[in-house]
Structure 1
Amino acid sequence: MARAILEHGPATAAVLAERLDLTAAAVRRHLDHLVEDGTLEARDQRVYGSRRRGRPAKVFALTDAGRDAFDQHYDDLAVEALRFLAETQGDDAVLEFARRRVAFIERDYERLVAEQPDLSPAAALARVLTDEGYAARVRGLPLVGGHAAGEQLCQQHCPVSHVAHEFPQLCEAETEAIGRVLGTHVQRLATIAHGDGVCTTCIPVPTRTGTSDDREQK
């Protein structure tokens, strides 16, 4: 039904029922669902010439979210642009672009930590990534010798996974930024771009060094 509107433009329930060979009741049931989930919106039908009696029928049109559900070929365009950048300026230019793209991580992390200082560093980072569409969360790693081995940052979604499959610089720059905001070396264990179900990054517990007093006692 959404594709019919995409291909033919906004339409009334009656027009859709005729076009799709469905009953009016079935069409209205589907339309109610599509409006509820934000795929479609109902608009007043424009009336040209003399107006008939009664309220004008509603027409249903795709929302921006509804259009985004269809293939937009943005990934193909991004890959072609990065290929051109690599061919004309070299791989270093691609990496610089990738670093600039993830600059939001450090910028937004600093702001969030200042606003909510009670958040742990990893939790704040997950919030920043989630706000950018990465659906990130943090989970603890199994205990080793009775001590926490660290945490694991899990990103359930990657907005650029199809592009990163050909240009790993995108993942590399993201990992660098994560390490900088957390102030420790982190290790990427899996990425959606390379066929894994989730992007996972190991965040080790910082190594504790003794104080000067501790060293003097030893």
Structure 2
Amino acid sequence: MANQETSTRRSIITMLRTEGPLSAGDLAERIGITEMAIRRHIATLERDHLIYPTTIRQPMGRPAKVYQLTEEADDLFPKNYHALMLDLLDDLVRVDGEDKIGQLFAQREERLVQQYEALLAGKSPEEKVAAIADLQNSKGYLARYEAKDDGSFEIIEYNCPIAQVSKHYPQTCSCETNVFRRVLGMDVKRSECLAEGGKSCVFKVSRLEQAAE
């Protein structure tokens, strides 16, 4: 039963994507279930912020209530961004050479450092590490941090949205490590990497005096 309900909701989302706004009656007719049943699915999709109602004027009669997809629903459809990014980077190498890739990531590093430093200003070391983890988490890295007994920290990322790019261009990982090191003002070493086959990306963060010992 659960699989059937999931399939019905997927059908609703697909129809709204391919045909545009549709009423509950339109959806019920196309899927072949009662309008009462379709409204239960609509209520669930609205609750999950995947569809929303709107009204459209008709040549005759009362305005019709129809449903359309939210921006959140766009994430349900396949994306191939990494392939586009790899193509662009490969083209850049062919046109301007490998050195241009280094310049590109150096510029990205500077931009992120400026952005992060403004957000971390006035924070304690642990608050900075926590803020970095939150920033990464907001970008889809499934990140968290741990404070260790010796005063060091670990930032753990369980997902890498750009792993496919990182496998071909490890400069992405080096850029991330350098950004962390600069904005935290601490020693940062990457001990595990998803792009290199690890189960997560792990960054060991220690105060400079600890790293020197």
User: Which TM class, normalised by the smaller chain length?
Assistant: 0.7 to 0.9
Q: 1:137 to 1:20 in 2, by over 3 A?
A: same
SS, match of residue 165 in structure 1 = helix
- Identity, % of aligned positions: 29
Identify the residue that residue 4 of structure 2 maps to in structure 1.
none
CA deviation vs aligned residue, 1:100-144 (integer Å, no higher than 9, x gap):
334453223322233656863312322333344434321034x5x
Identify the residue that residue 213 of structure 1 maps to in structure 2.
none
1:28 equivalenced with 2:39 (yes/no): yes
- When structure 1 is superposed on structure 2, of 156-165 and 5-14 the one drifting more is 156-165
**Do the aligned partners of 2:57 and 2:64 also contact (CA within 8 Å) in 1?**
no
| Runs of 4+ with deviation above 6 angstroms | none
Identify the residue that residue 182 of structure 1 maps to in structure 2.
184
Q: Unpaired runs of 5+ in structure 2?
A: 1-11
1:96 equivalenced with 2:103 (yes/no): yes
Q: CA RMSD in A?
A: 2.5
Q: Name the count of aligned residue pairs.
A: 200
Match of 2:29 among 8, 13, 18: 18
1:138 equivalenced with 2:180 (yes/no): no
1:157 equivalenced with 2:164 (yes/no): no
CA deviation vs aligned residue, 1:8-32 (integer Å, no higher than 9, x gap):
2221111111212223233212211
Identify the residue that residue 204 of structure 1 maps to in structure 2.
206
Q: Unpaired runs of 5+ in structure 1?
A: 210-218
**Do the aligned partners of 1:164 and 1:193 also contact (CA within 8 Å) in 2?**
yes
SS, match of residue 200 in structure 1 = strand
Identify the residue that residue 9 of structure 2 maps to in structure 1.
none
Identify the residue that residue 114 of structure 1 maps to in structure 2.
121
**Do the aligned partners of 1:10 and 1:61 also contact (CA within 8 Å) in 2?**
yes
- Say which structure is richer in helix: 2
Identify the residue that residue 130 of structure 2 maps to in structure 1.
123
Identify the residue that residue 68 of structure 2 maps to in structure 1.
61
Alpha-carbon distance between aligned partners in 2 of 1:208 and 1:6, rounded to the nearest angstrom: 55
Alpha-carbon distance between aligned partners in 2 of 1:8 and 1:72, rounded to the nearest angstrom: 20
Alpha-carbon distance between aligned partners in 2 of 1:7 and 1:74, rounded to the nearest angstrom: 21
Alpha-carbon distance between aligned partners in 2 of 1:77 and 1:119, rounded to the nearest angstrom: 37
Name the aligned partner's letter for residue 107 of structure 2: R
Alpha-carbon distance between aligned partners in 2 of 1:150 and 1:119, rounded to the nearest angstrom: 9
- The structure having more radius of gyration, on CA atoms, is 1
Alpha-carbon distance between aligned partners in 1 of 2:109 and 2:23, rounded to the nearest angstrom: 44
Q: CA deviation at 1:4?
A: 1.8
Q: CA deviation at 1:89?
A: 1.9
Q: 1:119 to 1:207 in 2, by over 3 A?
A: closer
Alpha-carbon distance between aligned partners in 2 of 1:21 and 1:161, rounded to the nearest angstrom: 42
Alpha-carbon distance between aligned partners in 1 of 2:204 and 2:124, rounded to the nearest angstrom: 23
**Do the aligned partners of 1:79 and 1:163 also contact (CA within 8 Å) in 2?**
yes
Identify the residue that residue 215 of structure 1 maps to in structure 2.
none
- When structure 1 is superposed on structure 2, of 162-171 and 193-202 the one drifting more is 193-202
Match of 2:194 among 192, 210, 215: 192
